[in-house]
Amino acid sequence: MKALTVIPHQAGSAELSDVDEPPVSDGPIVVETLAVGICGTDIEILSGAYGWAPPGRERLVLGHESLGRVLEAPVDAPVAAGDLVVGIVRRPDPVPCANCAVMEWDFCRNGRYTERGIKELDGYLSERYRIAPEFVVKVDPSLGSLGVLLEPTSVVAKAWEDVDRVGRRAHWSPERVLVTGAGPIGLLAAMLGVQQGLDVHVLDQMTSGVKPDLVRELGATYHSGSVVDACDGPDVIIECTGVANVILDAMQHVGIGGVVCLTGVSSGGHAIQFDEGALNRNMVLENIAVVGSVNANRRHYEAAARALAEADHAWLDRVVSRRVPLARWEEALTRRTDDVKVVVEVGTSGPS
């Protein structure tokens, strides 16, 4: 079967390869891949900056934002042939650590977790894959091809859960939230904020085009410019850019007792000067909490599946801004100005 593979840490090594059918050891459920979303992590892997091949292998099958249709499943599995499904990305570490032991692999304590399409496990960008029942999540059939947004939505569902848990260290009734970055993660974080009835503001560099429109259609307020001009003193900031000065501004301008949740992964190597003492003083005297958040466990995928099912499907359809057939995969990896979420279409029998 065909798969998009890459040699991690070797830029320009991506190719459409012929690979073996998925091994039975991956699980009893056989899934036909319909679509795979491309995100910043994939671009980093393709640039040679991130990613690990399975032990003893040179190439890794790419792809962690999946949507597929079940071809075969055991009778006692939670999914059946024909169901639309998404594969969970992370697998618990083999020890397992205290968190992986209770299926909270997103908080793995020893770093020995694996991730499909990223760290030591083949991803979903192949014509078929196999998976164990505990790592597959059913998608509401009404979502159809939009189910490919489930994995990125799971990441922001976890971020919101983290914000809520940290916020509850004191009386917590947030009203205003600022999301920095209007890429797919920022837009989906804003969508979850709107679903909670919050006054949502989104900051991005773009001054026109699809991103400002998507934010307004959501019922949120769009800003370009600085954090302080966009929204001074919000209860929550969900940081989705990974840009150093935006992160610092977020920590300095969140409201008293506020929570800043960092979801963007910075590339590093761009040191900037700032007054650490003033930042510390402000954070202590105002009870500011900054929390990093990565990945998602099953609970977050399920929350994300519910959030997507109740979202405006026409809006979600505009978040998926470009669909590229597998044969033309290279086009999916080249960013265009108005791209939001770019998806590689794999299967022939697309979802209805």
> Which residues contribute to the site for ligand BGC (CB under 6 A)?
39, 41, 64, 89-90, 115, 118, 151, 155, 294-295
Give ∠ CA 252-189-247 in degrees, rounded to 5.
25
178 versus 296: smaller Cβ distance to ligand BGC: 296
Cβ(189)–Cβ(204) under 8 Å? no
Cα–Cα distance, 229 to 231 (Å, whole number): 6
Q: How far is the CB of 88 from ligand BGC (least distance, A)?
A: 9
118 versus 308: smaller Cβ distance to ligand BGC: 118
Q: How far is the CB of 308 from ligand BGC (least distance, A)?
A: 15
Cβ(131)–Cβ(28) under 8 Å? no
Q: How far is the CB of 265 from ligand BGC (least distance, A)?
A: 7
199 versus 302: smaller Cβ distance to ligand BGC: 302
Q: How far is the CB of 51 from ligand BGC (least distance, A)?
A: 9
66 versus 295: smaller Cβ distance to ligand BGC: 295
41 versus 180: smaller Cβ distance to ligand BGC: 41
**What are the CA-CA distances from residue 238 to residues 219, 293, 296 (Å)?**
17, 10, 16
Q: How far is the CB of 155 from ligand BGC (least distance, A)?
A: 5
Instruction: Tell me the sheet residues that pair with 132.
Output: none
Give ∠ CA 151-99-235 in degrees, rounded to 5.
60
The full 3-state SS of 75-118, as one line of letters, equals CCCCCCCCCEEEECCEECCCCCCHHHHCCCHHHCCCCCCEEECC
